[in-house]
């Protein structure tokens, strides 16, 4: 009767190859995945089990094998966004591959050795799940902290502006300047829209976002938003241009339109140091296209692929929050948000909305959520 420990140590590469063939035969659980994350670690793990069997037999608990962090790395699988279900499935294939290999070779191993091996693989999967969950929770906490910091950064500018206006009003002896009062009103409106947009982002999944269309002139919405951000643009010396048909009409949710278009204009001004920001309205047969162009630094292809994913700000105040609000607002209304950009050549965002947006009061069985995922992969050029 052969020692299972000796077999595992002597034939590690062959067993890994057999396992990998089995995994390829079944196919990965994740479409587009070409190689299992545990492949590089499996040889090490099989040798750990084999050496333990060879040196100490079944006297030691299999649970002790995975106390050393270097023997498995579920944290890397979190970073690779591989579901723990896939990892557990792969370890099940390991047991199956070893059993079939022993049968084909007619190897007779002791029940104690094989039980130790099976429990060791089970404990490996369990420990991977535990570490995966712990690492994922820590990652979510970090991202949440960055997200909150990003919100605070977005709120800082209008709040500071409000504080400045209040100081001016407190120190003035005469009646308030009508222009100052108007700027104060716009700042309050801007702050209110930002808070409402964040609340919608927090409270609703994309397929649950209420949509309440009304007939309006989109050019008037553009005028309002440009007026709100004109001070920011002029302070940086930027030219803020509008090209829109004043007679155009559409049925759209005003708040969601302002969420989307306002964040696009704000981002364009924020990241453009010189030149222009241009807002254009284009009418097509069944849709209306709002185009926001800038002469800013442009966006690299790598960064473009990250822009429309769920909010994960790389740093406080990043573009992730505003663009996430804009993207969700577009898709919730049956539209898309498209981007064309090259480093050094500026950026152009296109907000494409149906001319007549459909109303929605509640859940629609994931239709918009699936659209969100599909659009995220196909509308970034």
The per-residue pLDDT for 289 is 97
Q: Quickly list DSSP for 80-124.
A: TT--HHHHHHHHHHHHHHHHHHHHHHT----HHHHHHHHHHHHHH
Q: What's the rounded mean pLDDT across residues 207-229?
A: 90
Q: How many CB atoms lie within 10 A of CB 279?
A: 23
- 268: closest CA among 211, 316, 230? 230
The per-residue pLDDT for 329 is 87
Residue 276 has pLDDT above 50, yes or no: yes
- 259: closest CA among 310, 301, 211, 315? 211
The per-residue pLDDT for 214 is 96
Q: Is residue 351 a contact partner of residue 250, using CB atoms and an 8 Å limit?
A: no
Q: What's the rounded mean pLDDT across residues 72-98?
A: 78
Sign of the alpha-carbon torsion through 162, 168, 173, 174: negative
Sign of the alpha-carbon torsion through 302, 308, 312, 314: positive
Residue 280 has pLDDT above 60, yes or no: yes
Q: Quickly list DSSP for 150-207.
A: HHHHHHHHHHHHHHHHHHHHHH--SPPPHHHHHHHHHHHHHHHHHHHHHHHHHH--GG
Residue 351 has pLDDT above 80, yes or no: yes
Q: Which of 86-90, 196-200, 266-270, 318-322 has the highest mean pLDDT?
A: 266-270
Distance CA 65, CA 48 (A): 7
CA angle 56, 59, 63 (to 5 degrees): 100
The per-residue pLDDT for 61 is 82
Lowest mean pLDDT across 25-39, 256-270, 285-299: 25-39
Provide the mean pLDDT of the chain.
Answer: 80
Q: Which of 170-184, 335-349, 351-365 has the highest mean pLDDT?
A: 335-349
Residue 369 has pLDDT above 80, yes or no: no
What are the domain boundaries of the chain? 4-141, 205-378
The per-residue pLDDT for 86 is 78
pLDDT tier, 173 (very low <50, low <70, confident <90, very high otherwise): low
The per-residue pLDDT for 154 is 64
Point out which residues pair with 240 in neighbouring strands.
277
Residue 151 has pLDDT above 70, yes or no: no
Q: What's the rounded mean pLDDT across residues 107-112?
A: 91
Q: What's the rounded mean pLDDT across residues 212-235?
A: 91
pLDDT tens digits for 286-343? 999 999 999 999 998 888 877 766 544 344 334 457 788 888 889 889 999 999 998 9
pTM higher than 0.75, yes or no? no
Point out which residues pair with 241 in neighbouring strands.
278
Q: Quickly list DSSP for 10-55.
A: HTHHHHHHHHHHHHHHH--SSTT--S-TTHHHHHHHHHHHHHHHHH
DSSP code at position 380? B
The per-residue pLDDT for 31 is 53
Paired tokens of 327: 């993207």
- 48: closest CA among 17, 101, 15, 5? 5
The per-residue pLDDT for 327 is 87
For domain 205-378, give the fold.
Heat Shock Protein 90 (3.30.565)
pLDDT tier, 372 (very low <50, low <70, confident <90, very high otherwise): very low
pLDDT tier, 232 (very low <50, low <70, confident <90, very high otherwise): confident
Task: Tell me which residue has tokens 């106390």.
Answer: 67
Residue 175 has pLDDT above 70, yes or no: no
Residue 16 has pLDDT above 50, yes or no: yes
3-state SS record for 335-348: CEEEEEECCCCCEE
pLDDT tier, 201 (very low <50, low <70, confident <90, very high otherwise): low
Q: Is residue 95 a contact partner of residue 121, using CB atoms and an 8 Å limit?
A: yes
Q: Is residue 213 a contact partner of residue 251, using CB atoms and an 8 Å limit?
A: yes
Q: What's the rounded mean pLDDT across residues 10-21?
A: 90
The per-residue pLDDT for 244 is 94
346: phi > 0 → left, psi -120 to 50 → alpha, else beta; which?
left
Point out which residues pair with 370 in neighbouring strands.
none
The per-residue pLDDT for 374 is 46
Between helix 12-26 and helix 39-56 the angle, nearest 10°, is 140
């Amino acid at each position: 009767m052969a020692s299972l420990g000796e077999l595992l140590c002597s034939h590690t590469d062959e067993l890994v190859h057999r396992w990998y063939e089995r995994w390829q035969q079944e196919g990965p659980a994740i479409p587009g995945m070409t190689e299992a994350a545990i492949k590089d670690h499996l040889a090490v793990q099989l040798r750990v089990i084999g050496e333990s069997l060879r040196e100490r037999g079944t006297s030691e608990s299999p649970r002790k094998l995975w106390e050393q962090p270097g023997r498995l790395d579920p944290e890397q699988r979190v970073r690779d966004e591989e579901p723990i279900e896939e990892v557990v499935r792969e370890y099940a294939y390991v047991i199956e591959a070893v059993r079939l290999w022993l049968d084909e070779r007619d190897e007779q191993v002791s029940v104690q050795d094989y039980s130790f091996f099976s429990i060791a693989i089970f404990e490996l999967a369990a420990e991977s799940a535990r570490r995966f969950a712990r690492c994922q929770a820590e990652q979510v906490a970090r991202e949440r902290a960055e997200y909150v910091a990003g919100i605070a950064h977005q709120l800082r500018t209008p709040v500071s502006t409000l504080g400045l206006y209040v100081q001016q009003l407190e120190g003035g002896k005469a009646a308030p300047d009508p222009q100052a009062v108007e700027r104060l009103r716009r700042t309050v409106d801007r702050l209110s829209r930002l808070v409402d947009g964040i609340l919608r982002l927090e409270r609703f999944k994309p397929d649950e976002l209420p949509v309440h269309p009304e007939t309006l002139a989109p050019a008037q919405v553009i005028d309002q938003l440009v007026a709100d951000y004109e001070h920011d643009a002029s302070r940086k010396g930027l030219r803020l241009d509008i090209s829109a048909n004043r007679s155009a009409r559409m049925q759209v949710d005003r708040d969601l339109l302002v969420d989307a278009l306002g964040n696009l204009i704000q981002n364009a001004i924020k990241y453009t140091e010189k030149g222009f920001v241009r807002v254009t309205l284009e009418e097509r047969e069944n849709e209306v296209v709002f185009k926001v162009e800038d002469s800013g630094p442009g966006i690299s292809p790598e960064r473009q692929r990250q822009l429309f994913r769920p909010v994960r700000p790389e740093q406080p105040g990043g573009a992730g929050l505003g663009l996430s609000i804009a993207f969700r607002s577009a898709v919730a209304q049956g539209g898309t948000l498209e981007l064309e950009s090259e480093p050094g050549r500026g950026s152009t965002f296109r907000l494409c909305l149906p001319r007549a947006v459909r109303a929605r009061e509640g859940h629609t069985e994931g239709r918009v959520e699936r659209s969100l995922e599909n659009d995220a992969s196909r509308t970034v050029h």
